[in-house]
Amino acid sequence: MSFGTAKCFSKKFSELRCSRTFIICTVTIAVFVDMFLYSLIIPILPTLLTDRAQVTASKVQVALAGLLAAYNLAIVICAPVSGYFADKWSNRKMPLLGGLFALAGATVLFTLSKNLGLLYLARILQGASASIVWVVGLALLVDATSSEGIGSAMGWVSVGLSLGDTCGPLISGVVYERAGHYTAFSVAFAVITVDIILRCLLLEPQSQHVSTLKEVQPGQDSAPQSIEFYVLEGRSSRIAEGMPQLIDSQSGLEHQQEKDVPPGSFNIFKLLRYPDMLCSLWCIFMITVVLTGLEAVSGLHYFPTNSVAGTS
């Protein structure tokens, strides 16, 4: 292979690594792996608690609920922090890799630990990793996708979410029953390896988000702009692109009265003033309540009745 051919191949490969398609694929796989590993543990957690962590039968239900609560509490704490630093840092790739290594560490703890405290630590690491994937990963997706293509990109992410949530318990239950504990978790390490390769290959595009934060026009205050600044800036760009605008009788995040709001560190909380955001948060809250409520008890209904007291 000549030097010119190698240089051309390297250029094409670099273009592929920072292309919109590759970024969507990487974020989709990241979401798939996150949901796959989250749901993989659900069917085998009761057995894991009794056989390895030596939790008594009467306390299995409490331990299950506590592990689920620890995961969600880690997300509640880490998600706003991840969002804050995702806006401050220009590099999306390193937080994504850090979250993946936290997920790998959690999987190692699940595989080897024989202590309930270490299982709690594993679940907390898993929740912290999930918050990074969802916050930083979706921010990277927005950086790489135009306003016209964001719906299509989110559709692929939803496919990854659904597949991970479906394949995780199905595969782990079958493999755990037929091949045992370590074989079931070897599947988890296999998908983590694929995710590591994709995230390492990822090259970030030159994001408008980064240039907006870094560039300050002459005579302009260098302090961070308010949420309204970015909302109105997005509205102006849509007008320039000739996209249809909302009329006065319609709602929407971009169709709001201009207000001068002092800039602050956590401008994200100012989004809570918008009905669209509150409605979305309420829907997510209700979905999470239903799913986690079912996950806390579903495993016990298929657990041997002589192993868990009070289970029918």
40-86 pLDDT per residue, tens: 988 888 888 888 888 887 888 888 888 888 998 999 899 888 888 87
Confidence of residue 285 (pLDDT cuts 50, 70, 90): confident
pLDDT of 255 strictly over 50: no
DSSP state of 65: H
- pLDDT value of position 271: 73
DSSP state of 50: I
Query: Which H or E run includes 195?
Result: helix 181-201
DSSP state of 214: H
Of 126 and 243, the structure prediction assigns the larger pLDDT to 126
- pLDDT value of position 299: 57
pTM: predicted TM-score of the whole model, two decimal places? 0.73
- pLDDT value of position 207: 44
Q: How far apart are CA 186 and CA 184, in angstroms?
A: 5
Cα 215 to chain centroid, rounded: 29
pLDDT of 279 strictly over 50: yes
Residue type, 291: L
pLDDT of 227 strictly over 50: no
- pLDDT value of position 128: 93
Cα 138 to chain centroid, rounded: 8
What are the sequence ranges of the domains in the chain? 18-205, 225-303
Could you tell me which CATH number the domain at 18-205 has? 1.20.1250.20
